[in-house]
Amino acid sequence: MARSKLHIKKDDTVVVLSGKNRGKQGVVLEVYPKKQRAIVEGVHIITRHLRPSQMGEGGVVEREGTIHVSNLKKVE
């Protein structure tokens, strides 16, 4: 199964085209080519409940979730 090359890459500035975050801009932090998804800074914030580790870090953490690349447009 051949996959096409993605039109965005890490450190590109993109704008969200659809969804609840439509119109927001941000910088691409990570790209997952096999899943065709990307993480954009400050967009699609999700809440994660983390179990405390031995270091004592835990609780409710907010972080960016992934967005499908078809919903992103590169900004020049």
CATH number at residue 44: 2.30.30.30
Please state the domain count of the chain: 1
Q: Could you list the residue range(s) of the whole structural domain that residue 22 is in?
A: 13-74
pTM: 0.83
Of 65, 64, 3, the C-alpha closest to 33 is 3
Q: Please report which confidence band the pLDDT of residue 48 belongs to, taking 50, 70 and 90 as the band edges.
A: very high
pLDDT attached to residue 25: 96
Q: Please report which confidence band the pLDDT of residue 57 belongs to, taking 50, 70 and 90 as the band edges.
A: confident
Distance CA(1)–CA(63), nearest Å, equals 32
Instruction: Kindly report the average pLDDT of the chain as a whole number.
Output: 91
Per-position DSSP letters for the chain, written without gaps between them: ---PPPS--TT-EEEE-SSTTTT-EEEEEEEETTTTEEEETTSSEEEEEEPP-TT---EEEEEE-EEEGGGEEE--
Residue 1 domain-assigned (yes or no) = no
